[in-house]
Amino acid sequence: MSNAGGKKKRKAVMLGVGLDSDGHKRLTTGPNFALVGGSKDTHEQMTEKAVKINEKLKARGKALHEVSHEEFDDIAHEVGLKRAPDKPDKPDGHSS
């Protein structure tokens, strides 16, 4: 059934994936995030960042789906997250 003529409800979710492991399987979910994997330390750090982001959003009176990419980047930076640097393309078109 389509939602013709009606407004689509926007939804945004943060997904955290821990790539290191200590043999345990970890999954933490919240109202707008899901965190999977990682060692105990990594998973705790991801959880802390997700909670802090939600606190910043609440302080601004906004939900995750209401902030722009730029505003989210600002909030993420405030809680200590850094954007991964863009990888430049190789001039010869080959990867090493």
What residues does each domain of the chain span? Answer: 15-78
Contact 29, 35 (CB under 8 A): yes
DSSP characters over 12-58: --EEEEE---SS---EEEETTEEEEE--HHHHHHHHHHHHHHHHHHH
What is the structure's pLDDT at 3?
53
Q: Are 75 and 57 in contact (CB under 8 A)?
A: yes
pTM as predicted? 0.78
Q: Digits of tens for pLDDT over the chain (96 positions)?
A: 455 556 677 789 999 999 999 999 999 999 999 999 999 999 999 999 999 999 999 999 999 999 999 999 999 999 999 887 877 766 655 555
Element (H, E) at 72: helix 69-78
Interatomic CA distance for residues 3 and 16, integer angstroms: 30
Predicted confidence at residue 82, as pLDDT, reads 85
